[in-house]
Amino acid sequence: MFHHSSKLQYEVRCDKPNPAFAKYLQQAIGGIEGEIRVAMQYFFQAMGARGNPKYRDMLMMTATEELSHIEFLGHAVALNLEGAPVEVTEDAAKDPVVHAILGGMNPRHVLSSGLSAMPVNSNGVPFDMSHVYATGNLAADMMANATAEGGGRVLASRLYNMTDDPGMKDMLSFLIARDTMHQQQWMAVIEELGGMEAQLPVPNSTPEAHENTEHSYYFLNTSLDEPTPEGRWTSGKSLDGRSEFTIREKPDPLGQKPDLGKAKPGSGAQKEQM
Amino acid sequence: MFHHSSKLQYEVRCDKPNPAFAKYLQQAIGGIEGEIRVAMQYFFQAMGARGNPKYRDMLMMTATEELSHIEFLGHAVALNLEGAPVEVTEDAAKDPVVHAILGGMNPRHVLSSGLSAMPVNSNGVPFDMSHVYATGNLAADMMANATAEGGGRVLASRLYNMTDDPGMKDMLSFLIARDTMHQQQWMAVIEELGGMEAQLPVPNSTPEAHENTEHSYYFLNTSLDEPTPEGRWTSGKSLDGRSEFTIREKPDPLGQKPDLGKAKPGSGAQKEQM
Amino acid sequence: MFHHSSKLQYEVRCDKPNPAFAKYLQQAIGGIEGEIRVAMQYFFQAMGARGNPKYRDMLMMTATEELSHIEFLGHAVALNLEGAPVEVTEDAAKDPVVHAILGGMNPRHVLSSGLSAMPVNSNGVPFDMSHVYATGNLAADMMANATAEGGGRVLASRLYNMTDDPGMKDMLSFLIARDTMHQQQWMAVIEELGGMEAQLPVPNSTPEAHENTEHSYYFLNTSLDEPTPEGRWTSGKSLDGRSEFTIREKPDPLGQKPDLGKAKPGSGAQKEQM
Amino acid sequence: MFHHSSKLQYEVRCDKPNPAFAKYLQQAIGGIEGEIRVAMQYFFQAMGARGNPKYRDMLMMTATEELSHIEFLGHAVALNLEGAPVEVTEDAAKDPVVHAILGGMNPRHVLSSGLSAMPVNSNGVPFDMSHVYATGNLAADMMANATAEGGGRVLASRLYNMTDDPGMKDMLSFLIARDTMHQQQWMAVIEELGGMEAQLPVPNSTPEAHENTEHSYYFLNTSLDEPTPEGRWTSGKSLDGRSEFTIREKPDPLGQKPDLGKAKPGSGAQKEQM
Amino acid sequence: MFHHSSKLQYEVRCDKPNPAFAKYLQQAIGGIEGEIRVAMQYFFQAMGARGNPKYRDMLMMTATEELSHIEFLGHAVALNLEGAPVEVTEDAAKDPVVHAILGGMNPRHVLSSGLSAMPVNSNGVPFDMSHVYATGNLAADMMANATAEGGGRVLASRLYNMTDDPGMKDMLSFLIARDTMHQQQWMAVIEELGGMEAQLPVPNSTPEAHENTEHSYYFLNTSLDEPTPEGRWTSGKSLDGRSEFTIREKPDPLGQKPDLGKAKPGSGAQKEQM
Amino acid sequence: MFHHSSKLQYEVRCDKPNPAFAKYLQQAIGGIEGEIRVAMQYFFQAMGARGNPKYRDMLMMTATEELSHIEFLGHAVALNLEGAPVEVTEDAAKDPVVHAILGGMNPRHVLSSGLSAMPVNSNGVPFDMSHVYATGNLAADMMANATAEGGGRVLASRLYNMTDDPGMKDMLSFLIARDTMHQQQWMAVIEELGGMEAQLPVPNSTPEAHENTEHSYYFLNTSLDEPTPEGRWTSGKSLDGRSEFTIREKPDPLGQKPDLGKAKPGSGAQKEQM
């Protein structure tokens, strides 16, 4: 069960409200790199967690923290929208600066939300829950979570660079820090379970008989004119410790030329297809 | 530039066409765990790759392979739809078996595609490109790719279990194998670049001055009644080698109680808010 | 800031796990009538609340409660999925009952989530945040909230009828009760502010000079052959107390026939349009 | 059956074409607060209406009116796009005013529609029909409709403030007026049926035995540090006349700690979860 | 301006209500091949029509007709849902026939709409307005419209085959007929304007100097192992009468190998990319 | 099976990088008129092709070409983003030119992709695969393809006009040329199969007994006040050669007034509807 306390997890100050930056910040709320995504992702993973219950607890605790991140970012958006124009006068309509502000902001911050945050990204596209990755497989989920936090910290770093407002920079430096921890915490689960060697390939429970292992360890060079880009993935022991990496270049197709024959009567095709 | 040869990358046999399994297979084509996603993800990452060009080449080569996976899976869907009913007779309408088949298949496999594959998942929801993760950050992208392949191999393993058709099992055992390689190949890039210690936190180019490092290494226990779930993430050296993990329990909020004051005249609020 | 305690807000029992009912329950999680929607709607309204802060507090408290509803419903979905098949044997493939179960469940409950809840509706369509209505106008928001809870209670009542599982019925009877309270609580805000007469038309801050009041109080009968359906809306004092309702039948258009003239050179039209 | 006459329901004049305002106006066409939504919502409610047929007629008549609103707003968008640039010269490319115009308009108004209206909102996001609320429950639908019209009038009032064009203001003052009537007309249905006391809780046909009424009339304070915000919803007779409002503070969870146990073999989880 | 008369454009009878067929019919309402799409497509094209106004009138008249098609199909869906179960008893839960019915129907036809039509397709995916194609180019629009009607008639023919209900077959035979006319009417516009030779390439107003005509008339064989499939498109006069078709086989790339160099400082990439 | 060569199909030069034009170009990648759409559309049509295999080959060859178009357009976007700001200084924040640039570009080109192409349109809306039209009917598909290419060439022509960069104009003149060919190649299939007379109505395999031909050849004038717009579609031989076009004006409805009666007990309606 969830509870709430009235103060924000971190203080939000906005020295120079900027409606364009409000639009940018929306990416951290409703973008695929944003906080709604991680809050819901960890929450749904927790609800489906099977196995050692400590991972469930860990997921729920961080899901709860991410809800608090939505909250202070939402406040930051509203503070940046203080000062956005809500009425256009004849003079304003002629002013290129006003045009630039209006062009640079999300019109729905005036029209739809009345100067407050929305669950959308910086293009105004609503977040959709297809981005909540929760597979029921612990390693797949931990990777997905570290990925989400990596994307989140990239975003927070870019936002930090796109503002010169000290309050916003301070808030973002907190987010950058928490994203550091969260990246590590999910990868630490994998390390605790024996690291990549033990956890790969995901799922590690697939019986070997279900895998055509002849095809499991070669890098396929599908290029007609480029040499294989060599690296850790083209030679040496595989990361799961089961085999050696090799290379397969200019591969011949292994299958047939597909042919579906004629269309069935009654199937809605043209007569010429039947 | 892309080229094509007429045979499939891998042979597809379907011994017992099954329209319900055709619906299931769609998840591997148009699901978030599917092949359209990885093909497009690696393609867009390649187009935006900066730095050592070998990673660009590697991405494009595997993007090209994934297009071939869409192709043979698409053929597998069509083969499973051979035998689906396209006309309902009075007798059929009374037959519970026919009802079960009709109920179990995707109606659009008859109504919209005329017995062939669609770029949709197993619920019939079209794939949308918001799932193409390409950040311009190499480590974030490699993590995203390993995640996608982990999800893909989980899916392929589940599909393997949900069919008893030998041809389908054979095709899926090939997919399971390639997903093994692809998971490893993306993680091998990270290993080649010094492993997690060198690559974390993502992005590793964020100046330390942009991070409020006081908050970077504690696990936050937001639960009111649960002890902290202890593990690799609560003590010991952080995975980036920069610090030590600690715990913060029952944390007090660090910020203010948010207050936006009164609504502006002309902002479309109720009078009582002004 | 959010906090969590480890027990569910309400107890969940599932006596006869039923994968089809798991699919049905998803509507209450990720449907437009569901709990993600109200949780996020009240949360975003709270973050944008201006005016008397008690409404902000009220919104945040109920948002927090709704998060707890997602949580116990998510558990209910997982419990209903215990017993769903994860492997298909040759015998099973021939069994019409198994076919019916497979046809009746959401395939992604096996393929994607591994037997747990997803943030999707009963068709498997992911929830998207465009359904979070938060206008910055208190009365509009209260109406939207009462609407959402009305739809939610309709749904919960239908779900109650669609199961014969005593545990599920018990859980739903709790949801039905809370939806009762939530409907009333939002309408009570309007009553406290003077009721419909004071709050309509929304927004009540629009200056009368911005409204062509000649058109504000007639019911427009756009039918060519039906008499006006008479009722409270065709005569008597208007609900805002400002005027009297009247009727306008078979109305003549008040505007011009639209004509955009020719297409511009360079605008990409056909020559014949220029 | 529908019919059409060639003139607009209301006259549209645009004195100073403004491509940025064209983008803003799109919210009133393809936004969730817009006319496509209400036209389709009333239409689908009418098609599903059961009970007294006069409500069906009323819904269809107003659906028909809303189609006419789409029509004149679409014309208004096209008129505002007269004067938008369709060719960029070298000089134009250097001009910050042109940059501001291009930045402020929807690029698809040139690229996709060739200077005319689209069924999208002011962010260019296409309207999707998930926003058509039609529940089969008369009171739920009436509430949804009044909500939609409240949102619509808030939007029209904001658009009125965001333009200084007299023609646009005139058109919007008509819309504001019709939204006044439509809000009232849907609430008048509820009043005619006995008002909130008779219609709440929605659905009023749910047998009391299906409701755990012990939980139906308390406001739940989920905050750890805030007193309950008191008001009409915390004491006094409930709006349905069945009970008294009370308060429940710092509630203890009523349910169990959820535990799903181990993952099943064959379910695609990691070995460590089994 | 729109008007309505109370009777349906065509009579709807449903002799054997079938909830599964109700789901199928939804494709004709809210599918991309359905009536909402064409109604809105013609409507938006009409609102943006420039040039000879008779095409505008024609578009609006047929848009109006398509609204009437939505209406009778919506009634057909509701009639097919008469008889769908709204309550599940213990006996029913054990009955495979009931399971098949429940599995075969759209659960939201009970849960969300209360036994009536929804603006969704046969998978329950809501229609979204991105499918409204209106380019401002008359020929492009006419092609899009003929395409939509072609898809619509394919669908109606398939639906005809998927039911044995005489009333449904009768209604669909009317739809098939109207789709015949509508296909032809849009292609007749092209014929009236001089046929394909005059109208191609679309747009025919693009100055020849804007086209690298060296590449305008060859069929590109991108296959490594297949001969060029010969036909009307590989030799003979081009359809616009401007040139001759030719073939280009195993083409060499004409461009460079793309190289974006290093990532910029401050751009959020990994250090190794800079 | 797909293969790749390392050079682009066509050379891409960008003389004056322009982040706003990068946003515009996205329409040609991820818009409904763009290259992802046609690549995937031809690919899925090829996978479902039944009948003469040469059409399958033709589709796959052109699908492969379109993948190469995505590739060079993606490079063009990245080149236009060179020079976009990734850091905002205090001075920059005051500069209206910088504001105009920031307002005119897609913020996600910095925040999400780090200066490279995304699979989104010029509004930042991700492409979704519902736009992949593949019906299993050859004529319907050919029409859909010619439509897509018509829309594509309209877009490319508009983009040509919206830039003054010689490199971009050169690249677009190649695209315009290929779109010319592709339009013609799909229509040439129809011509080869006997032209419109033989192929209409689509599907031409629908038995005449399934069509109420009384309604197949009249233009329906649904207007109350406009005369029928006369043209090729109102008189003369129908395009399929089967009949003559006629006109039906001010049509009377042929159907009943719909009436669903009362709502069922247990269906979640209000009591007043039962």
DSSP assignment of E29-52 equals: HHSTTSHHHHHHHHHHHHHT--SS
Contacts of F53 in chain A (CB under 8 A): 259
**Confidence band of D256 (pLDDT split at 50, 70, 90):** very high
**Confidence band of C93 (pLDDT split at 50, 70, 90):** low
Which residue, B148, B175, B196, sits at the end of a domain? B196
**Confidence band of E93 (pLDDT split at 50, 70, 90):** low
The parts of chain B modelled with pLDDT lower than 70 are 93, 96
Asked if D238 contacts C79 with a C-beta cutoff of 8 angstroms, the reply is no
- pLDDT recorded at residue E95: 74
Residues E231, C70: Cα–Cα separation, whole Å: 59
Strand D218-221 relative to strand D246-249, pairing: parallel
- pLDDT recorded at residue B93: 64
Q: Do D169 and C215 touch (CB under 8 A)?
A: no
In this prediction the pTM is: 0.97
Taking the Cβ of residue A253 and every Cβ of chain F, the question of whether any pair is shorter than 8 Å is answered with yes
Asked if C11 contacts C106 with a C-beta cutoff of 8 angstroms, the reply is no
**Confidence band of D89 (pLDDT split at 50, 70, 90):** confident
Residue F114 backbone class (left: φ over 0; alpha: ψ -120 to 50; beta: rest): left
- pLDDT recorded at residue B102: 80
Asked if F103 contacts A177 with a C-beta cutoff of 8 angstroms, the reply is no
To the question of whether residue C35 is assigned a binding role by annotation, the answer is yes
Q: Please, which residues have CB within 8 angstroms of residue C181's CB and are 6 or more apart in sequence? A: D215, D216, D217, D218, D219, D220
Residues D100, D111: Cα–Cα separation, whole Å: 17
To the question of whether residue F145 is assigned a binding role by annotation, the answer is no
Q: Nearest CA of chain D to the CA of C104: how many Å?
A: 19
- pLDDT recorded at residue E54: 97
Q: Does residue F204 carry a pLDDT above 80?
A: yes
- pLDDT recorded at residue D93: 64
Q: Which of residues 128-167 of F touch B (CB under 8 A)?
A: 128-130, 132, 134-137
pLDDT tens-digit readout, F113-161: 999 999 999 999 999 999 999 999 999 999 999 999 999 999 999 999 9
Residues B64, B54: Cα–Cα separation, whole Å: 15
Q: Does residue F93 carry a pLDDT above 70?
A: no
- Rounded to the nearest angstrom, the gap between the alpha carbon of residue C57 and the centroid of all alpha carbons in its chain is 22
To the question of whether residue F66 is assigned a binding role by annotation, the answer is yes
Q: What percent of chain E is modeled with pLDDT above 90? A: 92
**Which residue in F168, E222, F68 sits closest to B47, CA to CA?**
F68
Taking the Cβ of residue C124 and every Cβ of chain A, the question of whether any pair is shorter than 8 Å is answered with no
Average pLDDT over chain E, rounded to an integer? 95
Token reading at F231: 């043209």
Task: Indicate whether E1 belongs to any domain.
Answer: no
- Please tell me whether residues C57 and C95 are part of one structural domain: yes
Diameter of chain A measured on Cα atoms? 75
- Type of residue numbered F143: M
- Please tell me whether residues E164 and E242 are part of one structural domain: no
- Please tell me whether residues C109 and C183 are part of one structural domain: yes
**Residue of A27, A159, A161 to mutate, interface with E, max E Cβ within 10 Å:** A161
- Among C24, C161, C274, select the one facing E205 at the smallest CB separation: C274
Range F93-96, long-range pairs (CB < 8 A, 24+ positions): F93/A16, F93/A18, F93/A164, F96/A96, F96/A97, F96/A100, F96/D96, F96/D100
To the question of whether residue F272 is assigned a binding role by annotation, the answer is no
**Which residue in F64, F75, F58, F70 sits closest to F12, CA to CA?**
F75
Q: Does residue F110 carry a pLDDT above 90?
A: yes
- Rounded to the nearest angstrom, the gap between the alpha carbon of residue C227 and the centroid of all alpha carbons in its chain is 33
**Which residue in F90, F60, F59, F80 sits closest to F12, CA to CA?**
F80
| DSSP character at residue C32 | T
Average pLDDT over chain D, rounded to an integer? 95
Q: Please, which residues have CB within 8 angstroms of residue B111's CB and are 6 or more apart in sequence? A: E24, E27, E31, E33, E122, E155, E158, E159, E162
The per-residue b/e assignment along B205-224, b for 16 or more CB within 10 angstroms, e otherwise, is bbeeebbbeebbbbbbbbbe
To the question of whether residue E106 is assigned a binding role by annotation, the answer is no
Residues B173, A215: Cα–Cα separation, whole Å: 9
A269: closest chain E residue by CA: E154
Task: Indicate whether A147 belongs to any domain.
Answer: yes
Q: Please, which residues have CB within 8 angstroms of residue C223's CB and are 6 or more apart in sequence? A: D57, D60, D61, D64, E3, E4, E5, E6
Burial of F198 (0-12, 13-18, 19+ CB in 10 A): middle
> Mean pLDDT over residues D105-111, rounded?
96
Compare D99 and B189 and report the one with higher pLDDT: B189
Task: Indicate whether F5 belongs to any domain.
Answer: no
C215: closest chain D residue by CA: D177
Q: Please, which residues have CB within 8 angstroms of residue A171's CB and are 6 or more apart in sequence? A: A10, A11, A12, A13, A72, A76
pLDDT tens-digit readout, D188-219: 999 999 999 999 999 999 999 999 999 999 99
Task: Indicate whether F11 belongs to any domain.
Answer: no
**Which residue in D124, C31, E112 sits closest to A129, CA to CA?**
C31
Q: Does residue A90 carry a pLDDT above 90?
A: no
Enumerate neighbours of C (3 or more CB pairs within 8 A).
A, B, D, E, F
Residues C86, F4: Cα–Cα separation, whole Å: 39
Asked if B55 contacts A231 with a C-beta cutoff of 8 angstroms, the reply is no
Unique residue bearing structure tokens 């616009």: E240
pLDDT tens-digit readout, D54-87: 999 999 999 999 999 999 999 999 999 998 989 9
Q: What is the CATH number of the domain that holds B31?
A: 1.20.1260.10
Taking the Cβ of residue B57 and every Cβ of chain F, the question of whether any pair is shorter than 8 Å is answered with yes
> Mean pLDDT over residues D8-28, rounded?
96
| Full 3-state SS string of chain D | CEEECCCCCCCCCCCCCCHHHHHHHHHHHHCCCCHHHHHHHHHHHHHCCCCCHHHHHHHHHHHHHHHHHHHHHHHHHHHHHCCCCCCCCHHHHHCHHHHHHHHHCCCHHHHCCCCCCCCECCCCCECEHHHCCCCCCHHHHHHHHHHHHHHHHHHHHHHHHCCCCHHHHHHHHHHHHHHHHHHHHHHHHHHHCCHHHHHCCCCCCCCHHHCCHHHCCEEEECECCCCCCCCCCCCCECCCCCCECEEEECCCCCCCCCCCCCCCCCCCCCHHHC
- Please tell me whether residues F165 and F221 are part of one structural domain: no
- Please tell me whether residues F113 and F56 are part of one structural domain: yes
Round to the nearest angstrom and report the end-to-end CA distance of chain C: 61
Residues E37, E59: Cα–Cα separation, whole Å: 13
- Please tell me whether residues E140 and E48 are part of one structural domain: yes
Burial of A175 (0-12, 13-18, 19+ CB in 10 A): buried
- Please tell me whether residues F90 and F178 are part of one structural domain: yes
pLDDT tens-digit readout, F13-50: 999 999 999 999 999 999 999 999 999 999 999 999 99
Q: Strand ranges (DSSP E) for chain F?
A: 2-4, 218-221, 246-249
Q: What are phi and psi of C122, to 5 degrees?
A: -75, -10
Task: Indicate whether B243 belongs to any domain.
Answer: yes
Domains: count for chain B: 2
**Which residue in F197, F175, F190, F39 sits closest to E239, CA to CA?**
F190
Residues F186, F174: Cα–Cα separation, whole Å: 19
- pLDDT recorded at residue F19: 95
**Which residue in E110, E127, E108, E134 sits closest to E56, CA to CA?**
E134
Residues F183, F142: Cα–Cα separation, whole Å: 9
**Which residue in B32, B202, B198 sits closest to A155, CA to CA?**
B202
- Please tell me whether residues A83 and A43 are part of one structural domain: yes
Instruction: From residue B116, give the alpha-carbon distance in Å to each of A96, B112, E30, F251.
Output: 54, 9, 21, 40
**Confidence band of C98 (pLDDT split at 50, 70, 90):** confident
Binding residues of D for Mn(2+): 35, 66, 69, 149, 182
Task: Indicate whether C27 belongs to any domain.
Answer: yes
H or E stretch covering C102:
helix C96-104
Q: Does residue A55 carry a pLDDT above 90?
A: yes
Indicate if the alpha-carbon torsion angle D196, D201, D202, D204 is positive or negative.
Answer: negative
Annotate F194-227 with DSSP letters as a single string: THHHHHPSSSTTS-GGGS-GGGSSEEEE-BSS--
- Please tell me whether residues B151 and B116 are part of one structural domain: yes
Task: Indicate whether C270 belongs to any domain.
Answer: no
Indicate if the alpha-carbon torsion angle A86, A90, A91, A95 is positive or negative.
Answer: positive
- Please tell me whether residues A228 and A191 are part of one structural domain: no
Which value, in Å, is the radius of gyration of the alpha carbons in chain D?
25
Asked if F211 contacts E173 with a C-beta cutoff of 8 angstroms, the reply is yes
Residues C71, B70: Cα–Cα separation, whole Å: 36
To the question of whether residue E66 is assigned a binding role by annotation, the answer is yes
Q: Which of residues 16-55 of B touch E (CB under 8 A)?
A: 47-53
- Please tell me whether residues D217 and D98 are part of one structural domain: no
C223: closest chain D residue by CA: D61
Contacts of D181 in chain C (CB under 8 A): 215-220
D169: closest chain A residue by CA: A88
- Rounded to the nearest angstrom, the gap between the alpha carbon of residue A231 and the centroid of all alpha carbons in its chain is 27
- Please tell me whether residues F107 and F158 are part of one structural domain: yes
Asked if A80 contacts A21 with a C-beta cutoff of 8 angstroms, the reply is yes
Q: Which range marks the domain in which residue E236 is found?
A: 206-253
- pLDDT recorded at residue C99: 74
> Mean pLDDT over residues A107-129, rounded?
98
To the question of whether residue E90 is assigned a binding role by annotation, the answer is no
Round to the nearest angstrom and report the end-to-end CA distance of chain B: 61
| DSSP character at residue E248 | E
- pLDDT recorded at residue A265: 94
Indicate if the alpha-carbon torsion angle B262, B265, B269, B274 is positive or negative.
Answer: positive
Task: Indicate whether B214 belongs to any domain.
Answer: yes
Between A2-6, A201-205, E92-96, the lowest mean confidence (pLDDT) is in: E92-96
Q: Nearest CA of chain B to the CA of C258: how many Å?
A: 31
Contacts of E64 in chain D (CB under 8 A): 2-4
- pLDDT recorded at residue B250: 87
H or E stretch covering F121:
none
Round to the nearest angstrom and report the end-to-end CA distance of chain D: 61
Q: Do B183 and A200 touch (CB under 8 A)?
A: yes
Q: Do C270 and E137 touch (CB under 8 A)?
A: yes
Q: Does residue F92 carry a pLDDT above 80?
A: no
- pLDDT recorded at residue E97: 72
